[in-house]
Amino acid sequence: MRTTETEGENDMGKIVTGATMSLDGYIAGPGESGFDLLFQWYGNGDVEIPSASPDVPPIRVSAASAGLVKPEWENTGALVVGRYLYDMTKAWGGRHPMDVTTVVLTHQRPDDRPEDDENFVFVTEGIEAAVTRAKEVAGDKNVVVNGGQMARQCLEAGLLDEVGVELVPVVLGGGKTLFGELGTTPVEFEGPVAVVEGTGVTHLRYRVKK
């Protein structure tokens, strides 16, 4: 089942973030654990969504999930991630699975990437500069900011427009939250503006109140 208040609206050019989340609010378990449980919905369906990464296989999700996720991926023009994720994934083998340019916020550019290219752009001046660069790359499409520290900084800076939560029936008992330790709370959201019930996951979308 899907309910939405955004049908017919132009959702292009927004700054969004999101993550798969356990019922107790964690996007990663203690010690970076629990991903096998969080991402089961990536492989429990019949609809294949291709991956542009040589190291990340295509996902196979339910038709309901694909009906939401595929258009969102297609309307994404750039990503913003932190250096930690970039290093942890080993740069996704050279290209992010979503097949868009990834803007990496870092204190220092990697030695093996002396110049920016269509795969990776490196920014050292802070979250505002990273989002500005990503918007330039994305054009009239959305910029997706990775969860955790990047999402927290983006929300605190007043840059974030929408939040997506992929809620899965798992309890992790601790770990990392979507926005980490926010410096300014509470923060209110509008919605959910969309609810999609997939297999093993409920997709929720919210707008940031401004």
Q: Is the pLDDT of residue 188 over 80?
A: yes
Considering only CA atoms, which of 104, 101, 141, 178 is closest in space to residue 15?
141
Q: Which two tokens stand for residue 89?
A: 């994934």
pLDDT in tens, 132-156: 999 999 999 999 999 888 999 999 9
pTM, entire model: 0.89
Q: Measure the CA–CA gap between 145 and 147, rounded to whole angstroms.
A: 7
Q: Which residues contact 130 (CB under 8 A, 6 or more apart)?
A: 80, 103, 105, 123, 150
Mean predicted confidence (pLDDT) in 190-200? 96
Query: What token pair was written down for 108?
Result: 């220092």
Q: With CA atoms as reference, report the closest residue to 27 among 157, 169, 201, 147.
A: 147
Helices (H), the chain: 35-38, 63-74, 83-88, 127-138, 149-156
pLDDT one-digit tens code per residue, 40-83: 999 999 999 999 999 999 999 999 999 999 999 999 999 999 99
Q: Give the residue-averaged pLDDT of 119-126.
A: 96
Backbone angles phi, psi at 6, to 5 degrees: -110, 5
